[in-house]
Amino acid sequence: MAKKKTVFVCQECGYESPKWMGKCPGCSKWNTMVEEMVASQQSSRHIMGTAQSFQSKPESITSIQSKEEPRITTNMTEFNRVLGGGIVAGSLVLIGGDPGIGKSTLLLQVSNQLASKKLKVLYISGEESTRQTKLRADRLGVTADSLFVLAETNLLEISNQIEKIEPDFIVIDSIQTIFREEVTSAPGSVSQVRECTSELMRIAKGKNIPIFIVGHVTKEGSIAGPRLLEHMVDAVLYFEGERHHTFRILRGVKNRFGSTNEMGIFEMKEEGLREVMNPSEIFLEERSQGAAGSTVVASMEGSRPVLVEIQSLISPTSYGNPRRMATGIDHNRVPLLMAVLEKRVGLLLQNQDAYVKVAGGVKLDEPAIDLAIAISIASSFKDEPSNPDDVLIGEVGLTGEIRRVSRIEQRVQEAAKLGFKRAIIPQRNIEGWKVPEGIEVVGVNTVHDALKAALGGR
């Protein structure tokens, strides 16, 4: 009997080694090498035969006909926005998120909406039985006849059912439970995830069927398995949110058919997920009036302006090294802005603890929120509340200047729509657009000017 060959594969990046190593040379992670069986010649031929179906003749770029592919739209405007306008036929989309966050609920609702439009939908569950899926469907009010549920983990049997049913839309929940018989490693391993995703991609492209696959996440919050999985699919969506809050955020981190900055917001109800059409009102509804350290910023999430509250708490430190903590923003931005305030404005912050938070659980990463953070810190330090009718927009430079930001007109329009009376923006953003009615625009050049405008120069 021929000796079976084994190889050690990193479960993080897919690096292969003939012997075990404590530290992976590919991603420098520790204790990620797992022993797996090498695929046999028969399975290798089968995989090679699968790859041959992609062979085609080279064509001149000028002779290829370009046309806008029609998209499949759901009844969820937020879901369509994150995908770039709808579901593209033949696309392979990966959705990741923490356990219990609502991935299966979201996809079951989407499946029901598509099935209600007379599309044939196949929902494949590898983690639940058909009865368990039916219990969730009853709670969500799923009643479409053309929604078919299959509890199966064998990829060969799944392929046979796809050939038999010929669906228009497929959901795989989840990819870590699906296995391929030719691959000898356990389900969820690097080899199984890679080969199963590659076969699903062949089905999606060959039959022009959109396929959504659910991926588990690690404790660090990234998709479990090799990064190769994210490179293979057409779009990667993350479903985020705190389990103790009802709001969920669907964010695109990769999208070959649209923007990667779009964000969709949902609220978890007893009957399922309900989309939030105006998230700014939700994020500002619990804002306390006249509180020191509270400011409002108009941030852009893709093509949509979102107004959120930034809160700061500055207090004298009782430690040798002051603490700098941030939630919802890059924690390195807080000491940077505090250094600008200390050097350019003269606020003595070196012996103060600083805690900065974006209310509502949103994560902001654009430079236009710098000014709101700086004014929030100064307001808490001086214990003087800023004007509750002000919205602050602008990037802060290391020399204390306020730099221009993009899409200033959409930001100010959103602020005016929600009843804000004044917008403090960079001076260089003043010209070239029409100011909406009911709001005053104040241009500032430096952080010192912004403090005078926001806190009345006190």
Residue showing tokens 């995989």: 47
- Within a domain: residue 432? yes
107 and 187 share a domain?
Answer: yes
422 and 327 within one domain: yes
Which DSSP state fits 95? E
The reply to whether 83 and 232 lie within a common domain is yes
Burial 10-36 (b: 16+ CB within 10 A, else e): bbbbbbeeeeeeeebebeeeeebbbeb
For residues 134 and 204, state if they share a domain: yes
At 90 the pLDDT is 92
Q: For residue 149, what are its two tokens?
A: 């549920």
Burial of 380 (0-12, 13-18, 19+ CB in 10 A): buried
If one counts every other C-beta atom within 10 angstroms of the C-beta of residue 278, the result is 13
45 in any annotated domain:
no
pLDDT value of position 43: 46
Is the residue at 65 inside a domain? no
The DSSP symbol for 3 reads P
d(CA 39, CA 31): 23
Identify whether 191 is part of a domain.
yes
8 A C-beta contact, residue 36 and residue 184: yes
Whole-angstrom distance, CA of residue 448 vs CA of residue 3: 75
Distance CA 89, CA 395 (A): 40
Considering the domain boundaries, does residue 63 fall inside one? Answer: no
Of the residues 277, 304, 326, the one at which a domain ends: 277
Same domain, 225 and 306: no
DSSP per-residue letters across 420-452: --EEEEEGGGSSSSPPPTT-EEEEESBHHHHHH
| Cα gap 39→153, rounded to integer Å | 19
- One domain, residues 253 and 309: no
Report d(CA 367, CA 333) in Å as an integer: 10
Q: How far apart are CA 313 and CA 292, in angstroms?
A: 9
DSSP string, 50-76: HHHTT------TTTSPP-PPPEE--S-
Show the tokens assigned to 21: 């190593």
Question: Which residues make up each annotated binding site?
Answer: 97-104
For β-strands 440-444 and 422-426, DSSP reports them as parallel
CA distance 324 to 330: 11
- Specify whether 124 is located in the same domain as 269: yes
Q: For residue 408, what is the domain's CATH number?
A: 3.30.230.10
At residue 372, the pLDDT reads 96
- In the annotated binding site for ATP, the residues are 97-104
> Is residue 47, in this structure, part of any structural domain at all?
no
Last residue of one domain, picked from the residues 250, 277, 304: 277
Half-sphere exposure of residue 267: CA atoms within 13 angstroms, side-chain side: 10
Show pLDDT as tens, one digit a residue, over the chain (458 residues): 455 678 888 877 778 888 999 999 988 889 888 888 775 544 444 443 444 444 568 889 888 887 777 899 999 999 999 999 999 999 999 998 888 889 999 999 999 999 999 999 999 999 899 999 999 999 999 999 999 999 999 999 999 999 999 999 999 998 989 999 888 778 888 888 888 999 999 999 999 999 999 987 765 555 555 566 788 899 999 988 876 678 888 988 899 988 887 888 898 888 899 998 888 888 887 788 888 999 999 999 878 899 999 999 999 998 888 999 999 999 999 999 999 999 999 999 999 999 999 987 788 989 999 999 999 999 999 999 999 999 999 999 999 999 999 999 999 999 999 999 999 999 999 988 999 999 999 999 999 999 999 987 44
**370 and 433 in one domain?**
yes
What is the number of domains present in the chain?
A: 3
Structure tokens at 415: 């602020």
CATH code where residue 94 lies: 3.40.50.300
**What count of other Cβ atoms lies within 10 Å of the Cβ of residue 430?**
15
66 inside domain:
no
Q: In this structure, are 139 and 18 located in the same domain?
A: no
Q: What is the pLDDT of residue 247?
A: 84
> Which residues does 411 contact at the CB level (< 8 Å), separation at least 6?
298, 299, 300, 305, 368, 391, 393, 405, 423
Distance CA 194, CA 368 (A): 39
Distance CA 458, CA 451 (A): 8
Token output for 432 = 């070239």
Closest CA relative to residue 264, chosen from 74, 77, 73: 77
Q: Please state, in angstroms and rounded to a whole number, the distance separating the CA atoms of residues 443 and 424.
A: 6
Same domain, 368 and 292: yes
What is the distance between the alpha carbons of residues 404 and 397, in angstroms, rounded to a whole number? 10
- Residues 270, 133: one domain? yes
**Which residues, other chains included, contact 11 with Cβ-Cβ below 8 Å and sequence gap of 6+?**
32, 33, 34, 189, 190, 225, 226
Do 167 and 22 belong to one domain? Answer: no
Q: Which of 259, 277, 295 is the last residue in one of the domains? A: 277
Report pLDDT for 47. 41
Note whether residue 210 is domain-resident.
Answer: yes
Structural domain boundaries enclosing 103: 71-277
